[in-house]
Amino acid sequence: MKKVLFKDIKDMDKFLYTLGEEGVSLSQVLKQLKSGKDAVELSLESDKLERLRKNLEGVCSVEILEEKGIDFPYQPVLIFALILENAIVFNILKLSFLSQDFYAFVNGLFSSPRSVEVVIHLSSFIFILLYFYSLVFFKKRVLVFYALGLSFFDEKKNLQTALLSFSVPLIALYLLSGGVLLKLLGLVLFSLSVALALQVKVVKFS
């Protein structure tokens, strides 16, 4: 992976379109442009960089900068982060949506125990998705990554894979507590989560 500087951009629409076609997250690009910068700095894999250099010829200048990070191949660390981060989220849920106070609040709104259960679990699932979405797409790292010095590689497809991988385990564990079909679905989802985690690309910064 390389740090690349795109400068002297002559056709902004084509520049943004080409980056989007390669799956580059445009949020970081637009943030840099809105801050007044006339150049854009990105982290790109070598093969993607070569394609962009070819497709952006005549659109902008491309300068390769000194690498500030390296691809981090030690996948067991991702499994560790997956488990620990979900343990953190579970404890947050126990203090909020799975707490007795929240149960009493929802129970006061609905007379049906089934409705109470649906509201509690739906609220928990929405919280899980919003929690990981905000960290993965806005911070590019989960809480555990701060201690490990890691960050998700900023690529749209990679961020989507990370979001799916990290947000599924708790939902899968809930399904494992149900009937036979739900147990089977939960097992499939948990296995999928682990498999996706092994495909997530991260960067370790010094």
Per-residue pLDDT tens over the stretch 45-77:
778 888 998 999 999 999 988 555 445 556 788
Mean pLDDT of 151-156: 83
Position 184 pLDDT exceeds 80: yes
Whether residue 200 contacts residue 81, with contact meaning beta carbons closer than 8 Å, is answered with no
| Among 67, 83, 108, residue at a domain's last position | 67
Measured CA to CA in angstroms, residue 146 lies from 152, 153, 155, 202, 206 at distances of 11, 14, 19, 12, 12
Mean pLDDT of 190-201: 92
| Among 67, 91, 108, residue at a domain's last position | 67
Distance of CA 58 to the CA centre of its chain: 33
Whether residues 49 and 138 share a domain: the answer is: no
Task: Give residue 77's pLDDT.
Answer: 87
Task: Give residue 74's pLDDT.
Answer: 64
What's the domain count of the chain?
2
Whether residues 63 and 136 share a domain: the answer is: no
Of residues 121 and 64, which shows the higher confidence score?
A: 121
| Among 16, 38, 67, residue at a domain's last position | 67
CATH number of the domain enclosing 49: 3.30.70
Alpha carbons 167 and 193: distance in angstroms, whole number: 8
Whether residues 59 and 81 share a domain: the answer is: no
Of residues 24 and 75, which shows the higher confidence score?
A: 24
Output DSSP code: residue 197. H
Whether residues 85 and 62 share a domain: the answer is: no
Count of beta carbons in the 10 Å neighbourhood of residue 44: 24
Task: Give residue 163's pLDDT.
Answer: 96
Position 206 pLDDT exceeds 60: no
Whether residues 106 and 197 share a domain: the answer is: yes
Q: Which segments of the chain are extended strands (E)?
A: 2-7, 40-44, 61-64, 69-71, 150-152, 202-205
Alpha carbons 40 and 37: distance in angstroms, whole number: 7
Both tokens of 102, joined, read 């929240």
Whether residues 85 and 138 share a domain: the answer is: yes
Structural domain boundaries enclosing 185: 71-205
